[in-house]
Amino acid sequence: MPLLAGLPLRIIDHQEGTSFDLASVTLEGGNVQIRIWRERGPIHTGFSSLTARFQSFDSLFIMKWLGLSTSQGLTGTNISAVLKGVAQFLVRCWHDIDVAFSQETAPRTIAELERIRLAYDKARWC
């Protein structure tokens, strides 16, 4: 993606499924791992710290943590629109995300993101 040319990201994995419209690409750079995947139509974006890759957070929670007003995060069914949104978001917020997921601050960031996710789930289901 040319829009990401100035960021220290590299593709570390990609997959294309033959059924259920599955596909994914995983990027890494700095302290961050980003996974963009399509599953049965919708496209999603998740973020994790390289120090805790098993704890991934949907872009909605990252955006809420950054104080951005959003109702759905970086998701949708139009691949071009989602990728453009991901690129614009990363160019604008890369430094904050990278610092937040550094080894020193990742535990605190992850705890805050977990609180945001829990509050979201509680509001959604209760």
**What is the span of the domain harbouring residue 64?**
2-125
Residue 82 predicted with pLDDT over 70: yes
Q: What is the pLDDT of residues 51-72, one digit of tens each?
A: 998 999 999 999 999 988 667 7
Q: What is the pLDDT of residues 101-118, one digit of tens each?
A: 999 999 999 999 999 999
- Number of domains the chain is built from: 1
On whether the CB atoms of residues 14 and 26 are closer than 8 A, the answer is: yes
Phi-psi region of 40 (alpha: psi -120 to 50; beta: other; left: phi over 0): left
Neighbours of 22 (CB within 10 A): 13
